[in-house]
Chain A
C-alpha cells in the first residue's frame, strides 16, 4: 500500500534559524496536505498542494510539491517560538481516496 515518509523526525533550532521538513510518497499523489499539531493539541490544516511543481507561501512558510508529485517540503524562514509543534504531511493517492499521513517532524525552537 501507499507509504508516506517524512524526515527528519525531530528538529531543534535556535529562534531565527530556518527549518525544513521533507515528505516522500511511495506512489504518485493526487494532492498533498500539510498539518500542524501544537503540543497537547490536535492537527490543524495548513495548506493543500495539487499541481506538479506548485509552490505556495504563507508568510514565513513555503510549501513545495515536486514535479513528479511524489515529494513535498515545508520550509519555515526565521523560526519563532510560536512555530513549535509537529508538522505532518498527508497525501491522497487519487482524488477520492483517504489521506495517508507521514510520521511527522517535531520542531522545537529555543528562544
Chain B
C-alpha cells in the first residue's frame, strides 16, 4: 500500500505562535489530500480538502484564516495553525486519497498524525 508521512509527530508551542504541519505522499502523487482533527476518543472531523494547485475547500465552521492550507506539489500539503491557542490543541491527521487523484487504490492512506499542544 501507499505511504503517507506527517511531520512533526508532536509539537508543543506557546499561545500566539504559528505551527506548520507537513503531509507527504511518499510513493504516489496525490492531487487531493484531506486534513482531519480528532479530539480524544472522538471521531475524525474533516477540516478541509486540500487540492494541488488550487485553494483548499474548507468544511463549515472551520476558519480559513486560522488554518492555512497549501498544496504546493503533488506530494506535499501543509497545514499552518496560525496564532495558536490552547483550544487548538488536538490530534491533526492528514490523508491522501489516490482514488480521487486518479490512482489505483480506492482506500485513503492516513499519515501518523501530529499531536499539537498549545500552552
- A residues with CB within 8 A of B: 31, 33, 41-45, 48, 86, 88, 90, 96-99, 101-104, 106
Contact = CB atoms under 8 A, between A and B. Distances in A.
Interface of B: 1, 32, 34, 41-44, 46, 49, 93, 95, 97, 99-100, 106-113
Contact of B49 (A41, A48, A98, A106): A98
B29 to A, nearest CB: 17
Name the prevailing secondary structure of the A interface residues. Answer: strand
B34 A42 contact: no
B37 to A, nearest CB: 12
Given A88-B43, A102-B43, A33 B107 contact: yes
Contacts of B41: 86, 106
Given A96-B100, A98-B97, A98-B100, A43 B43 contact: no
Which of A90, A97, A101: most chain B Cβ within 10 A? A101
